[in-house]
Structure formats: C-alpha cells, structure tokens
Structure 1
Amino acid sequence: MTDSSMTNYEKIPNARLLELLAEDHELQKLEAVTKALGSETRLKILKFLSVHTSTVMEIAEALGLPPSTATLHINILENAGLIKTDLRPATRGLQRVCARVYDRIIIQLPAYLETAETPIEVSMPIGAYTQIQAIPTCGLVGELGIIGHLDDPSAFYEPQRIYAQLIWFRRGFLEYHFPYRLPPGSILNEIEISFEVCSEAPLHHPDWPSDITLWIGGIEIGTWTSPADFGGERGMLTPAWWDTQNSQYGLLKVWKVTSTGSYVDGVQVSSIKVKDLPIKPGEPISVRIGIKENATNVGGMNLFGSKFGNYPQDIVMRQYFKRVGKE
C-alpha cells in the first residue's frame, strides 16, 4: 500500500465532549472556561478552528487581528483547555500551531447528592492484557522501540509487552482483568471506561472507518465507529523515533454503563444496564476491546498508552457506587 496523501493540517474529528460539574473542586476550571467563552473574538477563533488546525498568524489574518491580540486570546483559550498549541518547524524558526480540543461543553449545576461517593479509579497499562487475538497487520511498541517483530502474533507474548504504549491489529481483541474495589456494604451505580483509540490502516488514513466494540464480563456493551487512522501529524506524546507516517494519535472515548443504559461520550449505544453486568466481589471485572468478526467496518484498531498519542492515560476504569441503606 502507498502513503495516503495529507494536507498541511489534518481535519479535526468532531463530537469531542467536555463535561464540567459546577462544584468547588472544579471551580477553577469552570471559571477559566466561562471566561474564555465570554468573548466574541475568542468564539470566532474557536469557530475558525472547528475543522482544521491553524497557526497564530493564519488566525490573526483570517480574523483581522494584530498578531499580539490573537496571541493574547489564544493564551486564554489554551489556559482554559479549550485549545492546544504546539511548536512546529517553519521556513524561519518555529511557528505555533493551534487545534480545538472540544466540540460540545456540558455544565452540570450543583445539587445535593447525599448518596454519592467518590468513584474508585483504576488505571490499567495497555500491555497488561490477559488475553489477546491479533491478526496482521499487527504489532506493539514501547516508549523506546518495537517489541518483538511486526506482523508476528507471537510478539504479543513477549515479557516486554507489559511496557507497550501502542498496540494495533487488523482484526482481533484485547482483554483485561480489572480488580473489584467496591467497599463492603456498597452497590455499583455506574461503571466508566475510557481509552484513546482509532482505526488501523496501512501507515495511516484520514478516511478509514472501523467498528470498535466493548464487552464487560462477556456482555457486549456497544459499538463505536472510529472514523480514521490518524497520522501525518505527530501526536502530542508520541516519541520522535516513531515516524509520522505511522499512526500518531486517537480519540479519547468514554464508555459508561448506568442504570438507564450504555453510552459512548454521552450517546446511548445499547440498553445494557449496570444491573445486567456479572460483577461480583472477589472476581475480576473483564473488559474486552476489539473488532467483531461480523463487523460492518473491519478497519482494525490502534490502542494508545499514556506515553503515545494525545492523552496521558492508559485504560481508566471508574467504579461509581453508593452505600447500602442510604437514600
């Protein structure tokens, strides 16, 4: 296969969601976001960045702003976490490239939730899988280099696999066992799993759909279609030795199973409820991520660890619970 053609700045994928809770522990973040949004100029910058990344000079010229004014507004947006910037080589020196991070923002107003408990969070390295099926093209790499041999399924059993930071395959799945950590006298309200993921094409491809499915305890939670295998532009965390023509970053997807159904980024994908999951004290919580054999779009999968891609996290599970007897 040949390299896919890329424009100077890749189109930005949509449907990225920021959820904020109007409570004391998020007050600083909330104030920064609302301040950033309270300017017509900054809203125009966000609109301009909705479909592509741009340099500071391009933004200034498009909106008729002095570069110093554009820089001031961009700094406010970046401090609020609404855009990210990166320095890239240019003809003369470096240029600052800006990208929008979110497409939707939801602010939840404060309320008394007497039964709510702090969720239990478990971060699982992507190389800590307990079962794998990997059909080429496939491979895994660590922060410093390739593990085993590319397109060789036996590489996935190398001892160094635990240090993997990027895993990919054309077909197959990865399965992980998370610990049950609910305290005695409590019941599970919700379970949330988040990870950075994208499709797997030869090298990379901006239009390469893939149906990626999540299972918990052997129960299919739902399927999300990845739009592309993102590359050609280095991921924020991706090491310099990994060629930019390879997969560079994914999208951070948040799966949640609640009392009303199962959701990906707040969009319902199935009617499976938390009570339907076979989760028991003393037993592992199995989580499988992969491509179904009968998937409509068999476009493979890239799974990113905390030191590859754009998000400094591994596979994160949050177990939300309440104490029995509380109203």
Structure 2
Amino acid sequence: MKNILVTGGNGQLGQALQKVAGDYPQFNLLFTDYQDLDITNADALAAYFSAQPIDACINCAAYTAVDKAEEDEDNAFLLNFQAVLALAEICAQHNSQLLHISTDYVFSGRQNVPYTEEDETDPQSIYGASKVRGEAAAIGYNEQTIVLRTSWLYSEYAVNFVKRMRELMQEKQELNVVFDQAGTPTYAGDLAVAILDILQYKTVNPDAALGGVYHYSNEGVTSWYDFAIAIKEMTNATTRISPVTSDKYKTAAKRPAYSVLNKEKIKATFGIAVPYWRDSLAKCLKNM
C-alpha cells in the first residue's frame, strides 16, 4: 500500500478525495491541513517525510481568496509559490511523486478557443500570478511533477458558487449574475477521481515520463449566468435571475473573460473519461 500525503485536506478537493478514497484500497491517503502540517515550514515538511515513507503528495493547499490576494500579496505568494517550492524540494529528496493543483486564472482570458497546456500564461491578478510561480517552482524542481489546472471548482463542501446560489435562491426573489465570463464548472468529486486515476496509472507505469502540465475540468462551456440558471432549474427554485455584465459587479481582482480548458492531453495520456458539466452538477445537487 502506498502512502499518499494530501495537503489542504479540509478544503473542497481534500474532502472530495476523502469521500472517494475507499475506492482505491492500494492507496493510504494521509490527510493534513495547516493545523497538522505547515507546508510553508521546510523543517516541518522534513520531519513529516522522515517519519514515514511518502510515495506521492497531492497538493490541494492554496491561497484561494482571489480578491483578498490583491492586498495580501505576501501571503498569496507564501502559500501558492514558496510552499509549493518547499514541497517540490522535499518530494524530490524522497523520490515522491508530486501532483500540484493549479487554476485557469493563469490565463489572460482574451482567447476565444479552449486553452491548451502549451498556451502562454498571462495572469491578470495577484492570485493568478502566484499560481503561475507555483507551477514553475513545482516543475522546475522536478520535471516529473504533474501540475493539474482546473476551473470553477464546486462541491458539497466548503464555500463555492453552487452552495451560495442555492442559499441565495432560498433567501431572495431576484439575483443578478454575470453572463460575459465563459468557462467550465468542475465538480470536485470528478477531479478527485481523476487525480487518483492518474496516480494509479503512474503506479502501473512507473517508468513512464508523464510529468508536466495537464488540464481538467468537466466537459462543455457555460457562463456564470447559465450556471446559475441550471442550478435554479435543478432545484426548482423560483428566484428571478437576470444576466449582467462584469462591470456591474465590481471585484478587486480581474477574472478571465474566457477560461475554457482543452482536455485532450489528459484524456489521451491517462485514458480519463470527463463527464459533462450539467450531469455532474445534477449529481452534486442530489448529494446535497
């Protein structure tokens, strides 16, 4: 049985991994959060990796307060860059596979066709810039590191768009939701399965050179407005939802206007099936 360290174990993706862990009996997932393991502390990481063999690390820990990051740059870079560098270093020292989670915010959003892994990054926010630095640190230290970019993550857990919309539709008669930002929602349960399938593939093919950047989101494309409409329809809510442009909803950080991710590489390399976003939304809402 392989020991898999999961950082950020109390977040959306960490909890989704906890839910599906039983389907992968060959892995012993060790869930930690900042109270258990401070990944910004190199000495703490060294002690943890020395206490037991760690075959792989799934780094779900991140500074994700996108707007707050605009005035909290030091902490955003501490967790999204410096901590990733420390993880990459300790994983390399112990010959442990690192799988690091990144984001669609690394792109400018000016494109109008799905972004591939080879497209140039051009973040428009502190959060996006910190994640770009983290990607470079992870792969720069060990070319066998896998960076997995995702987008619009939601789940039954923590704070996210789906949970917030459900709450607001129970409280309000009218809502305004932006319609000029296009992307693809990602159900954390699907992403968790994809991550463990990748590690399983690596176990079966230990000598394969599979490091690098991969994209994973659900299939399809939508706007935040149409995403909200789908939630309304699937929950039989009666709230009136109106589409508005982004300039009517001011935020500290600029969001990508278009951040659809091309997933051909991950499907071709690992044989991963990617569910359609509406199907996964229905599954999540049913679980709620």
TM-score if structure 2 supplies the norm length? 0.28
Greater helix content: 2
